[in-house]
A = this chain, B = another copy of it.
Amino acid sequence: MKILRINTRTREHRFEELGKYAGLGGRALTSRLVLSEVPADCHPLAAANKLVAAAGILTGSVAANSGRISVGAKSPLTGTIKESNSGGMFAQKLARLGILAVVLEDCPPKDAPPVNICINTDGVSVTDASAYAGKGTYECMDKLRAEFGQRTCAMLIGPAGEHQRLAASIQFSDPEGRPARAAGRGGLGAVMGSKKIKAVVLDDAGCGVVSPAEPERFKDANKRWVEILKSHPVTGQGLPAYGTAILVNIINEAGALPTKNFRFGRFEFAADISGETIAETISKRGGKTKEGCHSGCVIQCSQSYLDKDGKYLTSGFEYETIWAMGANSLIKDLDDIAMLDRTCDDLGLDTIEMGNTIAVAMDGGVIAWGDGKAAIELLRKAGTKDPLGAIVGNGCRYMAEAVGVTRVPVVKGQSLPAYDPRVVKGIGVTYATSTMGADHTAGYAVAQNILKVGGDVDPHSKAGQAELSKNLQVATAAVDSLGLCLFVAFAILDNDKGVPTIAELVSSLTGKPYGVDDVVALGAATLKDEIDFNRAAGFNAHHDQLPRFFSEEPLPPHNLTWDLTEEDLRGALVK
Contacts and interface: CB of A to CB of B under 8 A. Distances in A.
A194 B401 contact: no
- Give the copy number: 2
Contacts of A536: 542
Contacts of A537: 542
Nearest to A48: B548
A162 to B, nearest CB: 10
B402 A390 contact: yes
Contacts of A166: 401
Interface residues of A, number: 37
A378 to B, nearest CB: 11
A498 B465 CA distance: 60
Contacts of A121: none
A42 interface: yes
Contacts of A391: 387, 390-391, 402
A406 interface: yes
A540 interface: yes
B194 A404 contact: yes
A42 B401 contact: no
Contacts of A164: 404
Nearest to A49: B406
A30 interface: no
Given A45-B404, A164-B404, A538 B542 contact: yes
Contacts of A549: 43, 46
Contacts of A403: 390
Contacts of A48: 548
Interface in A402-456: 402-404, 406, 408
A110 to B, nearest CB: 8
Contacts of A110: 404
Given A45-B406, A398-B401, A39 B548 contact: yes
A41 B542 contact: yes
B394 A402 contact: yes
Given A110-B404, A394-B401, 5 more contacts: A43-B406, A43-B548, A48-B548, A390-B402, A538-B539
27 contacts: A39-B548, A41-B542, A41-B548, A42-B548, A43-B408, A43-B548, A45-B404, A46-B406, A46-B548, A46-B549, A48-B548, A110-B404, A163-B404, A164-B404, A194-B404, A387-B387, A387-B388, A387-B390, A390-B391, A390-B403, A394-B401, A398-B401, A535-B542, A536-B542, A537-B542, A538-B539, A538-B540
Interface of A: 39, 41-43, 45-46, 48, 110, 163-164, 166, 194, 386-388, 390-391, 394, 398, 401-404, 406, 408, 535-540, 542-543, 545, 547-549
